[in-house]
């Protein structure tokens, strides 16, 4: 299966998220109004905003499927990373809104007691969203797709919001409204933490950052190739869910051009065996004689 087939599979995961958010948000909003549950209403409106994040991921995946053109010689794979970045912004907004809502509830004091059935509805929705998270994170790992993994983490954060809503509703039944506030603040902070992790990884990749350990592994792999007598320079960067490598190797200065070219081919072949290395640029230089 080629990379474009994997991206199509990622789009399927985005559609699963969008469908789940549409169904669950409608269910929560209708139930929230009927059972007078402000927590369930807030959770439903939260899911409406998450549809935007899932749509952003879907658009990013569709753009990344476009083949290389005159303006994008390496393809459009970085659209995946941009989609993950957009998803992190939306997740951060949701997390902050949850925290602000909890503080507002604390300042306004106790409200009318919601029906206990709304707690069961929130719990069922949490389980359903956890199932969407499990499906998407499993698929994201299988195809190594950062945008879909960001969407999966958003699914998990929404499952936690529903759990927080259920805790708040149950607490109100026992005269413990502060449980709602504690759960909401904890969930809000956790969502913000997840958003920050996605934002940090996305911006690191977009600014051509690359993990030093992975770079050392690439260097070690190249150094073991027959004919490579030294590595003068090695750079790598992430392009979507792929890796681009630029390396300057040193070879015996008495080799013919053909022999040097053969060594370069071996380096390229070895690098492509490494997972997700899409493109290798090898420059050959003669090793200086002492």
Residues in the chain, how many?
Answer: 290
pLDDT of residue 128: 92
Helix (H, G, I), strand (E, B) or coil at 255: coil
pLDDT of residue 84: 82
CATH fourth-level superfamily of 212-286: Cation efflux protein, cytoplasmic domain (3.30.70.1350)
Cα–Cα dist 244/28, whole Å? 45
pLDDT of residue 266: 92
Please name the residues in contact with 228: beta carbons below 8 A apart, sequence gap of 6 or more: 222, 249, 250, 251, 263, 267
Q: Regarding the domain delimited by 3-206, which CATH topology (the fold level of the hierarchy) does it fall under?
A: Alpha-lytic protease prodomain-like (1.20.1510)
Please name the residues in contact with 167: beta carbons below 8 A apart, sequence gap of 6 or more: 179, 180, 183
Residues of the chain with CATH 1.20.1510.10: 3-206
pLDDT of residue 113: 62
**Tokens read off for 252:** 């015996």
Q: What is the pLDDT along the chain (290 residues), one digit of tens a residue?
A: 466 677 788 888 889 989 999 998 888 888 878 876 666 777 787 787 778 888 888 888 888 888 888 788 787 888 888 888 888 888 888 888 878 877 887 777 655 566 778 888 888 989 999 999 999 999 888 887 878 888 888 888 888 888 887 887 788 778 776 776 777 777 778 778 888 988 998 898 888 888 888 899 999 999 999 999 999 999 999 887 788 999 999 999 889 999 989 999 999 988 888 766 888 999 999 987 66
pLDDT of residue 175: 75
pTM: 0.74
pLDDT of residue 112: 55
pLDDT of residue 102: 75
Residues of the chain with CATH 3.30.70.1350: 212-286
Decide if 218 contacts 236 (C-beta within 8 A).
Answer: yes
Cα dist from 249 to 15, 211, 227, 272, whole Å: 45, 21, 10, 17
């Amino acid at each position: 299966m080629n990379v474009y087939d994997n991206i199509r599979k990622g789009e399927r995961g985005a559609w699963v998220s969008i469908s789940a958010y549409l169904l669950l948000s409608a269910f929560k909003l209708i139930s929230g109004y009927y059972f007078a549950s402000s927590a369930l209403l807030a959770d439903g409106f939260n899911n409406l905003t998450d549809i935007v994040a899932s749509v952003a991921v879907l658009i990013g995946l569709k753009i990344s499927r476009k083949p290389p053109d005159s303006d994008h010689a390496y393809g459009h794979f970085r659209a995946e990373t941009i989609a993950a970045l957009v998803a992190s912004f939306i997740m951060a907004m949701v997390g902050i809104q949850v925290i602000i809502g909890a503080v507002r509830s604390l300042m306004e004091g106790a409200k009318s007691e919601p029906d206990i059935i709304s707690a069961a509805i929130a719990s069922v929705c949490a389980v359903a969203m956890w199932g969407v998270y499990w499906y998407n994170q499993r698929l994201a790992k299988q195809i190594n797709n950062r945008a879909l993994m960001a969407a999966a983490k958003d699914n998990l954060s929404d499952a936690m919001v529903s759990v927080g809503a259920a805790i708040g509703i149950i607490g109100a039944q026992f005269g413990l409204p502060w449980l709602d506030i504690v759960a909401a603040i904890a969930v809000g902070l956790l969502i913000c933490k997840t958003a920050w992790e996605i934002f940090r990884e996305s911006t690191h990749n977009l600014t051509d950052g690359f993990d030093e350990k992975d770079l050392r592994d690439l260097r070690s792999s190249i150094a073991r190739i027959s004919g490579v007598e030294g590595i003068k320079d090695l750079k790598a960067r992430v392009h979507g869910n792929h890796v681009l490598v630029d390396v300057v190797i040193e070879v015996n200065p008495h080799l013919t051009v053909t022999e040097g070219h053969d060594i370069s081919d071996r380096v390229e072949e070895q690098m492509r065996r490494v997972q997700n290395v899409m493109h290798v640029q090898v420059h050959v230089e003669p090793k200086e004689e002492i």
